[in-house]
Amino acid sequence: MAKYSRELKIFIANCYLSGESSCFLAEKYSIASKQIRYWAKVVALHGDNAFVPTPHLRSATARFEALKLMSTNSWSLSHTSAVLNLISSGILFVWLERYNKQGFSGLEYRQRGKLPMKPPHTISSRSDDEKSLEELKEKITYLRAENAVLKKLEELKQLNRQQAKKKR
């Protein structure tokens, strides 16, 4: 979720565009004055469509075109971001850094968030008749260990019960 809602950004930008000082608005809303001036630039360029998500900029070619637009027109990061209706100029800076370090492949879209879980280990569903001797031995060893653990747990429970009875 975004730190500031789209409506708040547009409201503060309109306040700035109507003549209020960015320093006054920054102090009032606890937002950097540079950020407010950027929001005002985006609202001035795009009006009601400001800060609408831009899914078309997820492809590496579209990101490369955005960087090329910036360099051919000698625009700043801030101005280019405002023209492209990006949420912040930092996004364009990240793309530029990745392009300088990794080339075109650095511009490819990366899924954010946690990676999906690995599928759980599946136990073979073959019958015991179909399994090899080694697989059967492994299964017996596993079952014996599981049985020993369960016996130990039961033994510990009985010890706890006996100690509780002695305390009474």
Is the pLDDT reported for residue 147 higher than 90?
yes
- Mean pLDDT across the chain: 87
Report CA-CA distances (Å) from 36 to 8, 29, 65, 77, 132: 11, 10, 27, 16, 71
| CB contact set of 37 (below 8 Å; sequence gap of 6+) | 16, 22
pLDDT band (50, 70, 90) for residue 122: low
Least confident of 1-10, 22-31, 76-85: 1-10
pLDDT band (50, 70, 90) for residue 124: low
Is the pLDDT reported for residue 168 higher than 70?
yes
d(CA 36, CA 41): 9
Task: Judge whether 15 and 25 are in contact, CB under 8 Å.
Answer: yes
- pLDDT, residue 24, reads 92
Neighbours of 154 (CB within 10 A): 10
Q: Closest by alpha carbon to 66, among 53, 81, 50?
A: 81
Angle, helices 89-102 vs 60-73, to 10°: value is 100
Tens-place pLDDT, residues 56-75: 788 889 889 989 999 999 99
Span 139-159, average pLDDT: 94
- The torsion angles phi and psi of 126, rounded to 5 degrees, stand at -75, 150
pTM: 0.60
